[in-house]
Amino acid sequence: MGNFNAGIISTGRAYPEGVLTNADLERMVETSDEWIKTRTGIEQRHRAAEGEYTSMFAVRAARQAIERARIDPMEIDVIICATVSPDQILPSTGCLIQAELGAHNAAAFDLVAACSGFVYGVTIANQMIRCGQAKYALVIGAEVLTRYVDYTDRSTCVIFGDGAGAAILGQVEEGRGILATRIRSDGRFAEQLFSPGGGTRIPTSTATLEQGMHFFKMRGNELFKVAVRSMTEVSIEVLTEAKATANDVKLFVPHQANQRITDAVADRLGVDSARVYSNIAMHGNTSSASIPIALDECIEQERIAKNDLVLLASFGGGATWGAVALKW
């Protein structure tokens, strides 16, 4: 058993070159640019082309993070791929990523927690590093959600995009790194955001495909209330454990689900809008990939400095939610 502090030491991101704008959607479904931006804050989203798949973007993001961490893939002890859109049912996308990276010493697996997947993965990696079971962990959030979007349903097709974000976690000096994490779920909210077809309960058939049962279904108004409340509460929990307040937060990076959710959570927490990062306009909701993509953009834009208190918070289907407080 060890007694190490864990922190994020590098990040990376990748997404398809293809872009689907609100103007494109106006030609596909009954909607408008104004309607989409008013309700979600989204202007465009990346969309994978035919022949592109989840692990392609995961590997690109991971290689970027590995290079920036200046480590060899063989030094990675665990790979956690958070995704709800795997390459295939078996084997895990994590194992496929491992093979591509040449990280043959790592345990690799997938984690299914929808939009909270990256926060869940960081929580698990943190514990593995703290107890000495891993020196380096690779946590990836990767999605090709547009494969599960019904482009006749304007309530969902305007929201989701594709992409991947990755982070290398490793041992850091005392007083820095991850200060507190919390993950939560409540299956009673399962049908607020779900994809009913294609599993063992409702196996894929001609009928399920005709009925679009493999597409995402969402009850947006109900989801909004639960998301705001849950993200606020769990953020307060990790800040309290970290012996900090919202005034101490230098950067708040929430899951990019909906600009109104981001604004409502920040307002309830009392975090000034200047310290809240939002990229939903350019990417849409990329589920588990949204926080690591946003975090990598923040680093690139030099919005994070050493010793800054950074707050991550997420909410997703399940329902799942969680938060991480870390000192950069």
> Which residues form the catalytic set?
115, 255, 285
What residues pair up with 8 in beta bridges, in sequence order? 169
Cα 64–Cα 68–Cα 71 angle in degrees, nearest 5: 100
Taking CA atoms, 165 is separated from 16, 56, 65, in Å, by: 12, 12, 9
Nearest Cα to 262, choosing from 276, 275, 250? 276
DSSP state of 164: E
Nearest Cα to 317, choosing from 94, 166, 143? 143
Give the Cα separation of 116 and 194 in Å (integer).
14
What residues pair up with 311 in beta bridges, in sequence order? 252, 325
Cα 198–Cα 315–Cα 305 angle in degrees, nearest 5: 130
Give the Cα separation of 51 and 58 in Å (integer).
15
Q: β-strands 309-316, 249-254: how paired?
A: parallel
Taking CA atoms, 247 is separated from 165, 211, 243, 271, 310, in Å, by: 28, 49, 12, 7, 11
270: left (phi over 0), alpha (psi -120 to 50) or beta: left
Question: Could you tell me where the DSSP H helices lie in 105-248?
Answer: 117-130, 154-157, 206-210, 220-241
Give the Cα separation of 173 and 302 in Å (integer).
21
Helices (H) and strands (E) in the chain, counts: 11, 13
